[in-house]
Structure 1
Amino acid sequence: MRNWLLPEHIADILPATARQVESAKAAMLEQFRTAGYELVSPPLIEYIEALVSEDDGALDIKTFKLDDHLSGRQLGLRADITPQVARIDAHLLSERTGVTRLCYAGSVVHARPNGLMSSREPLQVGAELYGYAGIEADLEVIGLMLDALRLGGVENIRLDVGHIAIFRGLVAAAALDATSARELFAALQSKDGATIRELVAGVAEPYRSAFIALPELYGPASMLESARSRLPSLPEIELGLMQLSAIARALQGKVELSFDLAELRSGFYHTGLLFTAYAPGWSDALARGGRYDNVGRRFGRARPATGFSLDLRDLIRILPARHPARGIRVAARQLPDASNEVARLRATGEIVVLDYLGESAEALGCDRELVATSEGWQIVPFH
């Protein structure tokens, strides 16, 4: 058995790249910190009820499950950090009544990959804002997401924006049952016009025509005017189109924008705006986000919420290159005499490498060495 093989869609990150990833993660978290977002670090494993709600089939399929030998209850390896942050806001930070900004960076594990090229161990980085329902909060989060991608080296970002409340408003007005709504949701996700027409054949007008129109309502901000004429006047639709227009005005000229009223590729818990970032050279989204008001209800506290996340592993091939600092070689035979000087140098941030085998400068990654002289320890070029 070749026990060095890793499972499918699981990969090591080797030294130089691992340092790039950690540096990018630190830069993003620092960016979030300066915007007022506090760092949280939820556990990798929790009781399954906290990680997956009963009606979230997609997340349930992604989540690895195992038995807890201590409690006898079922545990899950987190497949998404957002439910955990909602739990923290709802339960552990319940004394806060105003706006709460939280961020995170950690691995999640997927039982199934999102796509052919996707990792089953994404490094999820994200930020979430709780306690304010206004469009200003969504714009803040979108700006944070775009800045994080640019920090990671992504250029020519395109932002696709949708609004799931438009679909949900139509479902409620048409009085669709849960099974029909799920089937229609799946057909809209895949832009399957023939299946959509079949599923809404018995739906009353104007809702039948509205469902059929949704996959055709995509494009620049000017499309939103067409949507107003083709969709019925429902409160959810009016609010959705108003918010999408506000996004268009606020981001015009700052990022390439497109709107898609059948853009439903998101978690079940989203309730309003959906936004997805794409860039040339990637076949799938680089970051996703949206509004998920009341996501904390099952933890005892329903609040407005909006946020985004990205997989830092997706950016590995373009992360800013780091030129590793060269170290100082110390021949191991010089210990313990050189121990105090080695400790002093390391305390100043220098890389100090003990050489046991008499290796080359290239092998050790050093360009200097520590030598004993009549005047004490000196650092000289290492060749």
Structure 2
Amino acid sequence: MNWLLPDYLADALPQEAAQVERLRRRALDLFAGHGYELVMPPLVEHLDSLLTGSGQDLTLRTFKLVDQLSGRTLGVRADITPQVARIDAHLLNRDGVVRLCYCDSVLHTLPAAQSANREPIQLGAELYGHAGVEADLETIRLLAATLADLGAPAERIDIGHVGVFAALADAAGLADADEAALLQLLQQKDLPSLRCACADIAEPWRSALLRLPELYGDVAILDRAERELPALPALAAALDALRRLSAAMPELPLSFDLADLHGYNYHNGVVFAAYRRGYAGAIARGGRYDGAGAAFGRARPATGFSLDLRELARLAAPTALPMAVAAPFAEASGSALAQAITALRAAGAVVIEQLPGSPADSRCDRRLSERADGSGQWIIETINRD
């Protein structure tokens, strides 16, 4: 059965492909209107470059191969964000703020979820060169505008800050292995195992770490966190940043989750995720990842977001393929028929020339017919299928 594809890979048939392409064009036009420049990194590059600052999760999701030219290990990208950080830090090397965007396929060794495709189309936008909360504001607003413009507006945007957990872990003096174990349990919301893992941690850090999964809700949760968590400067700064975000975006459906530590090994500040009812996971994720360009020569402040355009295309309102005009095959390129077909296509119509002996395409609801008066003019008639 040579026609079968590997597990969790799928063709995009005409309806889906048209939807994905329509959304891609809209998104990139929207990004361009906000000053984001399009980049197109290669599908494959040196493995150490692809995995810079990404942590173990991306390592496991990346296909590896040997370069027949150099003998070095290459990777098929599983995430475009490190590549864009490389472009900003090493190739563009601009001073000040740089805004970049991208949209292309990535490949995963394993699906991110049971229903996920191993070849997502990653759409994203990244902002480099500004460490202030204003950059986080711009990024979250752009994400919300993108989802709304593509027909799948966010019904909830969860915002967190990895600085809260990092401050508590540092104050508690946790070893790297213990910190990693607690992080995994918090991400999984495994409260019984979390209580066991925290048993030997001294107070007040033990109670504070156990409190994090409960600190979820509207902006009032930030005041509760300030009351119930230890007074640490880094923790207070994180909560202040979240308050500024809340005050600046009252129009968005924001909520706050201080135990949302997705990408903790990669992000180092504000993190956020967008959700819709009827979809199990986040439809888009993002956050701050300052310093990712250090391995490429420049440690730059950075924040951004990405999403899987194929998944979003399934959530957005479907778009019907445009109906078409059936036309006789124009053998002579300079004929009146050929000129009429060219004019229709220039005006935006889909014109399908019927090859001799072939029926009209099922998408055709009109036909191009020559006038019966012998004038040589061509007119459009409705096809009656009754």
Range class of TM-score, shorter chain: over 0.9
Unaligned residue ranges in structure 1 (runs of 5+): none
State the Cα deviation string for residues 100-150 of structure 1 (Å, max 9, x = none).
111111111111111111111111111111111111111111011011111
Partner of 2:299: 302
Task: Select 2:270's aligned residue among 252, 257, 273.
Answer: 273
The total of aligned residue pairs comes to 380
Partner of 1:314: 311
Matched, 1:67 2:57: no
With over 3 angstroms needed to count, the CA separation of the structure-2 counterparts of 1:237 and 1:15, relative to structure 1, is same
* Letter paired with 1:329: A
Partner of 2:200: 202
1:235 Cα offset (Å): 2.0
User: How many angstroms apart in 2 are the aligned matches of 1:294 and 1:99?
Assistant: 14
Partner of 2:10: 11
State whether residues 161 and 273 of structure 1, in contact with CA within 8 Å, keep that contact through their aligned partners in structure 2: yes
User: How many angstroms apart in 1 are the aligned matches of 2:126 and 2:53?
Assistant: 23
Range with bigger deviation, 173-182 or 32-41 = 173-182
State the Cα deviation string for residues 187-223 of structure 1 (Å, max 9, x = none).
1111122222222322222222211111121111111
* Letter paired with 2:200: G
User: How many angstroms apart in 1 are the aligned matches of 2:286 and 2:178?
Assistant: 26
Partner of 2:190: 192
State whether residues 154 and 274 of structure 2, in contact with CA within 8 Å, keep that contact through their aligned partners in structure 1: no
1:250 Cα offset (Å): 1.8
With over 3 angstroms needed to count, the CA separation of the structure-2 counterparts of 1:206 and 1:369, relative to structure 1, is same
State whether residues 222 and 243 of structure 2, in contact with CA within 8 Å, keep that contact through their aligned partners in structure 1: yes
State whether residues 328 and 370 of structure 1, in contact with CA within 8 Å, keep that contact through their aligned partners in structure 2: no
Partner of 1:229: 227
Partner of 2:378: 378
User: How many angstroms apart in 2 are the aligned matches of 1:248 and 1:160?
Assistant: 11
* 3-state SS, counterpart of residue 188 of structure 1: helix
State whether residues 369 and 382 of structure 1, in contact with CA within 8 Å, keep that contact through their aligned partners in structure 2: no
With over 3 angstroms needed to count, the CA separation of the structure-2 counterparts of 1:118 and 1:71, relative to structure 1, is same
1:339 Cα offset (Å): 4.6
With over 3 angstroms needed to count, the CA separation of the structure-2 counterparts of 1:73 and 1:370, relative to structure 1, is farther
1:5-44 alignment to 2 at 5 Å? 5-44=4-43
Range with bigger deviation, 190-199 or 142-151 = 190-199
User: How many angstroms apart in 2 are the aligned matches of 1:162 and 1:315?
Assistant: 23
1:330 Cα offset (Å): 3.1
State whether residues 38 and 101 of structure 1, in contact with CA within 8 Å, keep that contact through their aligned partners in structure 2: yes
State the Cα deviation string for residues 302-321 of structure 1 (Å, max 9, x = none).
11111111111112233333
State whether residues 67 and 74 of structure 2, in contact with CA within 8 Å, keep that contact through their aligned partners in structure 1: yes
* Letter paired with 2:260: E
* 3-state SS, counterpart of residue 46 of structure 1: strand
* 3-state SS, counterpart of residue 276 of structure 1: strand
1:242 Cα offset (Å): 0.5
Structure 1 length-normalised TM? 0.93
User: How many angstroms apart in 1 are the aligned matches of 2:129 and 2:203?
Assistant: 37
Q: CA RMSD in A?
A: 2.0
User: How many angstroms apart in 2 are the aligned matches of 1:257 and 1:382?
Assistant: 50
* 3-state SS, counterpart of residue 5 of structure 1: coil
Partner of 2:352: 353
Partner of 1:146: 144
User: How many angstroms apart in 2 are the aligned matches of 1:382 and 1:279?
Assistant: 41
Matched, 1:102 2:100: yes
User: How many angstroms apart in 2 are the aligned matches of 1:322 and 1:375?
Assistant: 39
* Letter paired with 2:367: R
Matched, 1:158 2:156: yes
1:331 Cα offset (Å): 2.5
* Letter paired with 1:8: D
* 3-state SS, counterpart of residue 75 of structure 1: strand
Partner of 1:288: 285
Range with bigger deviation, 194-203 or 283-292 = 194-203
User: How many angstroms apart in 2 are the aligned matches of 1:333 and 1:87?
Assistant: 51
State the Cα deviation string for residues 250-307 of structure 1 (Å, max 9, x = none).
222x122221111012262100111010111111100101111111111111111111
State the Cα deviation string for residues 34-55 of structure 1 (Å, max 9, x = none).
1111111111111111111377
Unaligned residue ranges in structure 2 (runs of 5+): none
Partner of 1:121: 119
Sequence identity percentage: 45
1:382 Cα offset (Å): 5.6
